[in-house]
Amino acid sequence: MDLLLDVGNTRLKWGLHDADGWQGQGAVLLSALDGFVDVLAGFGPLRRVLGANVAGATVGGRLTAFLAARGLTAEWIRPQSEGFGVRNAYLDPARLGADRWAALVGARALHGAAALVVTSGTATTADVLDGDGVFQGGVILPGLDLMRMSLARDTAQLPYIDGRFEATPRRTADAIVTGCLHAQLGAIERMFRLVAHEPGALCLLNGGAAASLAPRLECPLMVVDNLVLEGIAHMLGNV
């Protein structure tokens, strides 16, 4: 059994994977990272640990200590200029986030045609992967909750409270939620235009805000749970 890790800005997502596929997945908030020790204790023998970490060295160091207590060492993936069916056209390929690289690899493995690869978490990323498997570039913007939080933090009368999506909002809370959703949807749909002309093009959507975005996106869509972990699993089977 292999343990795969996606260490994001807010959560650690984990998955247990073997020759038959996924045997379990879960998540732990970074604010409660010590709880991962109990998660680890429930696993059987592990052969290998492979992960993507964009949370920084401090979180990585804590995870290293947790794993070392079980006699395990994590291998942290790094973006490449080319590999696993994807060519990375970033000006400096090493500067691409490990999570974005893994999501691109996962997208190529799951869908062998052009794709807009979208992760909607603390930040939203929308990355263009053409039909030849070339990552052409992408955008990063604040995620849905981060947009709402910035309004609450930096304005006097736009609080962070629950609202709902409305075509023409008539309450402040609804206006905030609707506006932030439109910003996310608009960015994704504009980026999708860059691949829309290619045969079989899809938007591959994952992340915590996927459930809010998916019903309102006006482009061909596939929702994929834990696309970063899917990419790491593909890497594991090819190295």
Show which residues are catalytic: 99
Query: 28 - beta bridge partners?
Result: 12
Which runs of E-coded beta strand occur in 19-161? 21-29, 48-53, 74-76, 82-83, 86-88, 115-120, 123-129, 134-142
User: Coil, strand or helix: which one is 136?
Assistant: strand
Give 176-222 as a DSSP string: HHHHHHHHHHHHHHHHHTTTTTSTT-EEEEESTTHHHHGGG--S-EE
Q: What's the farthest any 2 CA atoms get from each other in the chain?
A: 58
Q: What is the token pair recorded at 51?
A: 């992960």
Q: What is the token pair recorded at 203?
A: 């938007």
Which runs of E-coded beta strand occur in 64-156? 74-76, 82-83, 86-88, 115-120, 123-129, 134-142
Q: What is the token pair recorded at 96?
A: 């691409």
- Backbone φ and ψ for 114, nearest 5 degrees, come out as -60, 145
Q: Which residues contact 93 (CB under 8 A, 6 or more apart)?
A: 79, 80, 81
